């Protein structure tokens, strides 16, 4: 077995896979060989898989007030160790002062941002790479007079068939003086990182997307929105990224008709869809949690528990670490509720009230410009072996690289040198 120093060369690759993106980005500047290895889709995929299993964080969007009283958007990462957080140095020049900035979703380290009016932006906060999507393929006017087009829904997720991310956009056309509260019709388009372009789908949208806080969620290959069907029933509208098809998922039977006094939020909890029901207003609020035990089967909705009543808590933000829920306090403070101990803990994270949004997030090297072909499971072992050989052949060319590698190992894994 070949060794580098006192360690087998395969172990060095395992160590590299554990380095944060920031260190790997610096390593790319050492020489063209290291840049080629770290930019290799095989290495990017292996690094992503390691972080998926070990380094899941919460990406938090909030508004802060400047000294001039203006609102500015800030992205922060909340880490599992001691609920520590760091502010991200991400270029939000398009949306820095946008009051309606939305986090649309997360896919392989890439996040999607929009204000539902102008540009849609893909961004990798770890690499600081961003890209504005091309203009819509749908016309900005309707062939039918007196109809006004409006983006009613956006979604972002992963297509397991093509191994690329997609953005879906629903445009609804509204009659100028209609009192129905529902659009005349809707059209759908999809942007794929594989093609770098939009295409319109010939599909019927079976329900109409409505607003409910912290509801839009990607799960099980599909993106989900809160929606109202033609019979005024509350439903979950899903769009499968691979099949490019819509599905209507009924709400729990107790919630079949719209209730103006309550909100609904949707999350992923322990590998299942979880629906949280809570009052819109009130000093004290209780939060009912329903879980869909079998995805897509309405009869499998089961009420698991009720949290509270809790004081000075506005809404849930994210399920995290299986037994923690991040929540927004009424004073703009983020709190964490432990489901096991039933304890509420204040976190040192502040923002303008009702400006918070969250995503479960993973740091990665994946590029927003596509070209990130994922590994096939059958060839994973061969790909790893090839990557190891390629990496260490480059080390033999420039010996000074070993000094940098040793410095990185000493910084991140000092136990190896004791």
Mean pLDDT in residue range 76-83: 72
Q: What is the pLDDT of residue 410?
A: 56
pLDDT digits (tens, 9 = 90+) for 3-24: 444 556 667 677 778 888 888 8
Distance set, CA 195 to CA 40, 107, 163, 239 (Å):
20, 17, 12, 19
Q: What is the pLDDT of residue 380?
A: 45
Mean pLDDT in residue range 102-118: 85
Q: Residue 149: left (phi > 0), alpha (psi -120 to 50), or beta?
A: beta
What percentage of the chain reaches a pLDDT higher than 70? 78
Token output for 339: 């489901």
Token output for 129: 């790479």
Helix (H, G, I), strand (E, B) or coil at 62: strand
Q: What is the pLDDT of residue 301?
A: 94
Give which of 406, 316, 364, 387 is closest to 158, Cα–Cα: 364
Question: Looking at per-residue confidence, does 111 or 260 come out higher?
Answer: 111
Binned at pLDDT 50, 70 and 90, residue 398 comes out as very low
Token output for 379: 């060839």
Q: How far apart are CA 256 and CA 127, in angstroms?
A: 44
CA 320, distance to chain mean position in Å, is 13
Binned at pLDDT 50, 70 and 90, residue 31 comes out as confident
Q: What is the pLDDT of residue 179?
A: 56
Q: What is the pLDDT of residue 73?
A: 84
Q: How far apart are CA 181 and CA 195, in angstroms?
A: 36
- Token pair 């388009």 in the structure block, residue: 189
In eight-state DSSP terms, residue 83 is G
- Token pair 């729990």 in the structure block, residue: 252
CB 113 within 8 A of CB 361: no
**Whether the predicted pLDDT of 388 surpasses 60:** no
pLDDT digits (tens, 9 = 90+) for 326-354: 999 888 889 999 999 999 988 888 888 88
CB 265 within 8 A of CB 214: yes
CA 218, distance to chain mean position in Å, is 8
Mean pLDDT in residue range 224-249: 92
What pTM value is reported for the model? Answer: 0.83
pLDDT digits (tens, 9 = 90+) for 161-208: 888 899 999 988 887 766 566 777 889 999 998 888 999 999 999 999
Helix (H, G, I), strand (E, B) or coil at 145: coil
């Amino acid at each position: 077995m070949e060794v580098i120093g006192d360690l087998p060369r395969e172990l060095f690759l395992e160590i590299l896979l554990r380095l944060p993106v920031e260190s790997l980005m610096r390593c790319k500047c050492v020489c063209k060989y290291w840049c080629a290895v770290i930019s290799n889709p095989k290495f990017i995929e292996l690094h992503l898989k390691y972080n998926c299993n070990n380094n899941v964080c919460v990406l938090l969007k909030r508004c802060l007030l400047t000294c001039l009283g203006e609102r500015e958007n800030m992205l922060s990462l909340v880490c599992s160790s001691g609920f520590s957080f760091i502010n991200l140095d991400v270029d939000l020049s398009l949306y820095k002062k946008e009051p309606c900035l939305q986090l649309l979703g997360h896919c392989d380290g890439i996040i999607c941002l929009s204000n539902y009016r102008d540009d849609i932006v893909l961004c990798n906060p770890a690499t600081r790479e961003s890209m504005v999507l091309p203009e819509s393929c749908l016309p900005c006017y309707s062939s039918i007079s007196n109809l006004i087009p409006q983006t009613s829904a956006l979604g972002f997720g992963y297509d397991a068939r093509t191994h690329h991310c997609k953005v879906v956009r629903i445009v609804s056309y509204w009659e100028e003086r209609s009192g129905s509260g529902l659009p005349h019709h809707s059209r759908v388009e999809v942007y794929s990182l594989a093609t770098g372009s939009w295409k319109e789908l010939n599909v019927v949208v079976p329900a109409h997307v409505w607003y409910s806080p912290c509801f839009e969620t990607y799960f099980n290959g599909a993106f989900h929105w809160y929606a109202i069907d033609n019979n005024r029933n509350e439903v979950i509208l899903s769009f499968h990224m691979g099949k490019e098809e819509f599905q209507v998922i009924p709400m729990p039977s107790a919630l079949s008709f719209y209730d103006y006094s309550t909100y609904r939020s949707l999350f992923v909890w322990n590998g299942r869809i979880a629906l949280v029901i809570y009052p819109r207003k009130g000093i004290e609020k209780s939060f009912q949690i329903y879980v869909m035990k079998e995805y897509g089967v309405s009869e499998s909705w089961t009420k698991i528990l009720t949290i509270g009543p809790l004081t000075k808590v506005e809404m849930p933000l994210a399920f995290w670490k299986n037994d923690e829920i991040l929540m927004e306090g009424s004073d703009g403070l983020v709190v964490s509720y432990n489901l096991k101990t039933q304890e509420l803990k204040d976190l040192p994270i502040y923002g303008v009230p009702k400006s918070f949004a969250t995503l479960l997030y993973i740091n990665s090297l994946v590029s927003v410009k596509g070209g990130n072909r994922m590994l096939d499971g059958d060839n994973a072992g061969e790909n790893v072996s090839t990557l190891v050989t390629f990496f260490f052949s480059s080390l033999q060319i420039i010996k000074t690289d070993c000094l940098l590698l040793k410095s990185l190992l000493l910084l991140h894994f000092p136990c190896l040198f004791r």
